[in-house]
């Protein structure tokens, strides 16, 4: 069988050479001058004799490219190599999965019934468990809010109404029979629309895929459904996981409808902030959970790379994509992480390391660092609020050291890792010219980013990954001395660094700017130690009330 395949490739090569020979009186499909010109793109220089000796190889390479494109590579086929975020000397933590969640039975329905929209998962769970509200009532409540407010937010792609109400009645029946699945029993939620769900469109936020239906349900959705949660909406994603513009609109910041919600988990963040869902699931490759969470004033957790299964989720970068929760507070994020953690083997990049957390443990055991240099340089309201947060923590007795993130790296070169992997995943889109259907076509658009990926040499991609390994080791050395590092909500290279190295981060609200829009701080943790940043985030949120604020125009 192998012999036949090689004969086919050689035949393809022969046909290619013959075609170009007849078409241009040349034995090659391109000329030396083409190679000489191409060198300028890659910063290399060979003389004409050296190029002449290459020509047969280059023609063979071109023929192999043409042959490869004749094979239909499915979107769910990953490369035969996986990214390993673990530095040399790292030992995976031994964690007992002993997380306990106590529901507050004193929670009641507020006088203003719409106030339920901004209750945490645990508060809603208490209402369900004490039978003050049924899951069907709660599901209808959020479905109505999605229908009412989506024209303003543009955060919903698909409303899942009939199936959600059937599931809600099932959850109510189980409660009546004495069966309780846990805090997510009967709680509605939404997912970013790059996450597939059988029978429903998964549009990836992009015009070429606006009618796409993928015949599988993502593993994380299966886990949440098994825990009793009720999926009620597929929420907007920036086109192919970039920004807040999708094929039919732009998702808005609930605090300022003139401003986009940032991206690319735009709908997940906006809908959660506006109280259209109690929580949602987003994804991040380079800021797509933390950035919209920061802008919309809610709590977003980006777990360690390899913590949560990406089975059934669109790929942007095999070595950088992560899936995580967007919630009202840190406790809710911890609950969701405890449910979506790990994999059944369908995503082979996942490390099945247990997740456990004890919110009652004293945070004095945590070693805290902060990036003073970056916060000092931020003269915006976000930076001012960051300094205020640091000073407040010092005043209440938190001991912290000033630290510096690695800086001596070619950070622009690292961007080629994401772009090369995205280009490979969406190669059919590029080659077919369907990429021209994308809504945005500017120099900063996803369409342009994918087109130029064709000009990233494999050698440069691998060299960037070699330096990435060095960066991983340097971050490993830094986290030998710290459990939590406090960073500004935006700015510097912190987002790129931690997405390259796979470290977990959480964005938490820190106040408001002079236009009344939310600001945030970011907590960075060690690999597979989400518990430390969640504990510290919860400690901060218990001492402040930023996470309890909600956009006033959605409270009616």
Q: Which helix (H) or strand (E) holds 302?
A: strand 299-302
Task: Provide the residue count of the chain.
Answer: 556
Alpha helices in 318-457 (DSSP H): 330-340, 372-377, 381-395, 411-425, 427-431, 446-452
| 530-543 and 330-340 helices, crossing angle to 10° | 160
Judgement on whether residues 126 and 47 belong to the same structural domain of the protein: no
Last residue of a domain, one of 68, 90, 122: 68
Report residue 523 CA to chain centroid gap.
Answer: 16
CATH code (residue 122):
3.90.1300.10
Judgement on whether residues 326 and 202 belong to the same structural domain of the protein: yes
State the chain's mean pLDDT as an integer. 93
Neighbours of 344 (CB within 10 A): 12
pLDDT score for 27: 63
Averaged pLDDT, 413-423: 96
Judgement on whether residues 189 and 292 belong to the same structural domain of the protein: yes
Range of the domain at 32: 2-68
Write the burial class of residue 241 (CB in 10 Å: 0-12 exposed, 13-18 middle, 19+ buried).
Answer: buried
pLDDT at 2 over 60: no
Averaged pLDDT, 269-279: 98
Neighbours of 82 (CB within 10 A): 12
Provide the token pair at 350: 């996942």
Phi and psi dihedrals of 277, rounded to 5?
Answer: -145, 150
Residue 210 lies in a domain: yes
Averaged pLDDT, 406-427: 95
Last residue of a domain, one of 14, 44, 68: 68
Judgement on whether residues 282 and 354 belong to the same structural domain of the protein: yes
Number of domains into which the chain is organized: 2
pLDDT score for 337: 97
Provide the token pair at 400: 């912290």
d(CA 200, CA 268): 17
pLDDT at 377 over 80: no
Residue 321 lies in a domain: yes
Residue 67: asked if its preceding bond is cis (omega within 30°), the reply is no
What separation in angstroms does the CA of 114 have from each of 118, 275, 380?
8, 9, 34
Categorize the per-residue pLDDT at 4 as very low, low, confident or very high, splitting at 50, 70 and 90.
Answer: very low
Q: Taking the CA atoms of 384, 390, 395 and 401 in sequence, report the sign of the dihedral they define.
A: negative
Residue 474 lies in a domain: no
pLDDT score for 95: 73
The residue assigned the tokens 């993928």 is 214
pLDDT at 8 over 50: no
Averaged pLDDT, 385-393: 93
Residue 456 lies in a domain: no
Judgement on whether residues 125 and 222 belong to the same structural domain of the protein: yes
Q: Are 320 and 285 in contact (CB under 8 A)?
A: yes
Residue 157 lies in a domain: yes
Task: Look at residue 396 and give its three-state secondary structure.
Answer: coil
pLDDT tens-place string over residues 296-338 = 999 999 999 999 999 999 999 999 999 999 999 999 999 999 9
pLDDT tens-place string over residues 37-92 = 999 999 999 999 999 999 999 999 999 999 999 999 999 999 999 999 999 999 98
What separation in angstroms does the CA of 386 have from each of 262, 343, 392?
20, 36, 10
Judgement on whether residues 256 and 317 belong to the same structural domain of the protein: yes
pLDDT at 376 over 80: no
Judgement on whether residues 155 and 63 belong to the same structural domain of the protein: no
Task: Look at residue 55 and give its three-state secondary structure.
Answer: helix
Question: Taking phi first (over 0 means left), then psi (-120 to 50 degrees means alpha), and beta for anything else, what does residue 216 get?
Answer: beta
Provide the token pair at 285: 């490759």
pTM: 0.93
Judgement on whether residues 49 and 127 belong to the same structural domain of the protein: no
Q: Are 292 and 277 in contact (CB under 8 A)?
A: no
Q: Which helix (H) or strand (E) holds 257?
A: strand 256-260
Q: Which of 58-67, 397-406, 430-439, 479-488 comes out lowest in average pLDDT?
A: 58-67
Residue 351 lies in a domain: yes
pLDDT tens-place string over residues 460-498 = 999 999 999 999 999 999 999 999 999 988 766 899 999
Judgement on whether residues 216 and 348 belong to the same structural domain of the protein: yes
pLDDT score for 25: 53
Residue 514 lies in a domain: no
pLDDT tens-place string over residues 109-121 = 999 999 999 999 9
Categorize the per-residue pLDDT at 5 as very low, low, confident or very high, splitting at 50, 70 and 90.
Answer: very low
pLDDT at 18 over 80: no
pLDDT score for 378: 74
Judgement on whether residues 242 and 340 belong to the same structural domain of the protein: yes
Residue 51 lies in a domain: yes
pLDDT score for 366: 97
pLDDT tens-place string over residues 131-143 = 999 999 999 999 9
d(CA 388, CA 473): 32
What separation in angstroms does the CA of 58 have from each of 18, 54, 64, 67, 506?
15, 6, 10, 14, 47
pLDDT score for 492: 65
Judgement on whether residues 358 and 250 belong to the same structural domain of the protein: yes
Last residue of a domain, one of 12, 38, 68: 68
d(CA 537, CA 65): 49
Judgement on whether residues 325 and 187 belong to the same structural domain of the protein: yes
pLDDT score for 104: 87
């Amino acid at each position: 069988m192998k012999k036949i395949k090689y004969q086919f490739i050689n035949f393809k090569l022969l046909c290619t050479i013959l075609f170009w020979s007849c078409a241009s009186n040349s034995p090659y499909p391109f000329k030396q001058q083409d190679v000489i010109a191409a060198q300028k793109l890659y910063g290399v220089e060979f003389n004409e004799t050296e190029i002449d000796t290459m020509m047969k190889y280059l023609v063979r390479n071109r023929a192999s490219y043409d042959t490869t494109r004749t094979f239909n590579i499915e979107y769910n086929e990953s490369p035969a190599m996986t990214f390993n975020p673990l530095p040399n000397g790292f030992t995976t933590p031994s964690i007992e999965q002993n997380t306990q969640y106590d529901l507050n039975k004193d929670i009641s329905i507020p006088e203003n019934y719409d106030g339920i929209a901004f209750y945490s998962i645990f508060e809603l769970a208490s209402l369900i468990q004490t039978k003050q509200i049924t899951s069907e009532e709660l599901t209808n409540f959020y479905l109505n809010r999605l229908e009412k407010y989506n024209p303003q937010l543009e955060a919903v792609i698909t409303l899942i109404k009939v199936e959600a109400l059937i599931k809600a009645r099932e959850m109510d029946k189980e409660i009546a029979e004495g069966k309780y699945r846990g805090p997510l029993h009967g709680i509605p939620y939404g997912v970013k629309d790059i996450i597939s769900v059988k029978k429903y469109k998964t549009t990836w936020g992009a015009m070429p895929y606006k009618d796409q239906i993928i015949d599988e349900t993502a593993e994380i959705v299966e886990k949440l459904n098994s825990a009793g949660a009720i999926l009620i909406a597929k929420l907007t994603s920036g086109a192919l996981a970039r920004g807040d513009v999708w094929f039919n609109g732009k998702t808005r910041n609930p605090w300022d409808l003139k401003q986009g919600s940032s991206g690319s988990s735009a709908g997940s963040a906006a809908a959660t902030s506006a109280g259209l869902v109690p929580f949602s699931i987003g994804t991040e490759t380079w800021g797509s959970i933390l950035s919209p969470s920061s802008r919309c004033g809610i709590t977003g957790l980006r777990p360690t790379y390899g913590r949560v299964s990406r089975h059934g989720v669109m790929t942007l970068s095999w070595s950088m994509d992560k899936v995580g929760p967007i919630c009202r507070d840190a406790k809710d994020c911890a609950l969701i992480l405890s449910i979506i953690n790990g994999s059944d083997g369908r995503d082979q990049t996942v490390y099945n390391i247990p997740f456990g957390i004890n919110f009652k443990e004293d945070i004095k055991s945590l070693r805290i660092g902060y990036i003073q240099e970056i916060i000092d340089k931020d003269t915006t309201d976000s930076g001012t609020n960051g300094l205020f947060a640091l000073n407040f923590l010092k005043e209440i007795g938190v001991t912290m050291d000033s630290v510096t993130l690695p800086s001596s790296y070619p950070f622009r070169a690292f961007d080629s890792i994401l772009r090369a992997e995205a280009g490979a995943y969406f190669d059919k889109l590029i080659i077919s010219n369907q990429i021209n259907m994308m809504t945005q076509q500017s120099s900063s658009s996803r369409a342009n980013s994918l087109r130029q990926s064709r000009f990233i040499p494999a050698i440069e991609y691998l060299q960037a990954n070699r330096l990435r390994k060095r960066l991983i080791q340097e971050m490993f050395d830094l986290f030998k001395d710290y459990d939590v590092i406090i960073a500004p909500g935006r700015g510097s290279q912190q987002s790129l660094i931690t997405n390259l190295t796979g470290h977990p981060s959480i964005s938490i609200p820190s106040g408001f700017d002079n236009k009344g829009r939310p600001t945030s701080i970011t907590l960075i943790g060690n690999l597979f130690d989400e518990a430390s940043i969640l504990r510290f985030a919860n400690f901060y949120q218990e001492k402040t009330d930023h996470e309890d604020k909600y956009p006033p125009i959605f409270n009616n």
